């Protein structure tokens, strides 16, 4: 996983293949190997390992694997149509003879036998899981996330969907545009972001982008501060896990503009945005709790194993 995080997918594949020879047939091995191949752009090689992982445990990672499989099949279909991987993957179908070819409507076409088990919420969780454990700046994942957040009123899902997340979808498309080196591809993503905000009379890409860039800068600053802290702990010879636990011994305090957004008299659209932000905030707290709990359990096991006799 460490090699994957630094973008050395070939080395990650090599290491996980060695693990497979030592302990064959494990779900985690097939899941990770499939993911590494996919992140390396070797989709056809990765798909069989995702199938093997699903055969062992179809419900692992809240069903993330199933949606990863669907997303890979969608990408392969797009590559077959264009003979190469181009961005954006899907088009909006703006011309009269074109259909919307994005991931969201593709997922709803009657193809999988378990159509009624397809859940937009689970699909979003699946894509977010791939972003968290793999690459949160991957344009394929960002585009898929935007497609799932942005729901058309005429679409029929097996579940009841009271609202969508056009503002978050626009942010996902903008983030995907920032990963493009080609000006045309970058502009196409911005057009999709604009289309997602079409019914938001008081919102536009120009109005949300400055705030979004501030959000990205704040997040990068937070992670950089944490990285420097961990480097300092290592240089000082401190117990990194213990220092990490001290740093997160209580829940982060909500303050500033975020709290004002939640408490002021806001419109229905702003309330929906605040609700979505709250959801992801508490998901972040949950992941943080899991990390802290895991580190403490691992340290406790290490101490227990070190006891004599």
pLDDT for residue 306: 59
> What average pLDDT does the chain have?
80
CA-derived radius of gyration, the chain: 21
pTM: 0.72
- Average of per-residue pLDDT across 145-167: 70
pLDDT at 203: 81
What pLDDT does 275 receive? 67
pLDDT at 164: 66
What pLDDT shows up at residue 154? 47
Mean pLDDT of 291-305: 70
Q: What is the mean pLDDT of residues 231-256?
A: 78
pLDDT category at 288 given cuts 50, 70, 90 is confident
Residue 304 has pLDDT above 80, yes or no: no
Q: Which pLDDT belongs to residue 291? A: 80
């Amino acid at each position: 996983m460490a090699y994957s995080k630094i973008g050395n997918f070939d080395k990650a594949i090599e290491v996980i293949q060695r693990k497979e020879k030592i302990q064959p047939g494990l779900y985690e091995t097939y899941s990770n190997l499939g993911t590494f191949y996919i992140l390396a752009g070797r989709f056809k090689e990765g798909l069989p390992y995702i199938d093997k992982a699903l055969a062992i445990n179809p419900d692992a990672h809240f069903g993330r694997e199933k949606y990863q499989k669907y997303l890979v099949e969608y990408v392969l279909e797009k590559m077959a149509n264009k003979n190469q991987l181009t961005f954006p993957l899907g088009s909006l179908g703006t011309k009269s003879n074109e259909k919307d070819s994005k991931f969201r409507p593709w997922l709803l076409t009657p193809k999988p036998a378990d159509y009624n088990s397809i859940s937009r919420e689970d699909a979003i969780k699946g894509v977010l899981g791939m972003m968290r454990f793999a690459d949160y700046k991957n344009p394929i994942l960002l585009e898929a996330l935007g497609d799932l957040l942005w729901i058309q009123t005429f679409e029929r899902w097996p579940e009841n969907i009271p609202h969508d997340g056009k503002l978050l979808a626009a942010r996902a498309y903008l983030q995907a545009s920032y990963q493009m080196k080609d000006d045309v591809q970058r502009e196409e993503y911005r057009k999709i972001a604009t289309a997602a905000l079409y019914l938001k009379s008081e919102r536009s890409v120009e109005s949300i982008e400055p705030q979004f860039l501030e959000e990205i800068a704040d997040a990068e600053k937070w992670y950089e501060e944490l990285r420097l802290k961990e480097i300092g702990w290592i240089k000082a010879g401190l117990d990194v896990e213990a220092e990490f636990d001290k740093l997160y011994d209580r829940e982060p305090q909500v303050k500033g503009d975020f709290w004002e957004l939640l408490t002021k008299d806001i419109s229905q659209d702003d309330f929906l945005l605040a609700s979505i932000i709250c959801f992801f905030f508490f998901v972040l707290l949950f992941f943080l709790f899991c990390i802290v709990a895991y580190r403490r359990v691992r340290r406790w096991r290490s101490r227990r194993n070190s006891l004599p006799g």
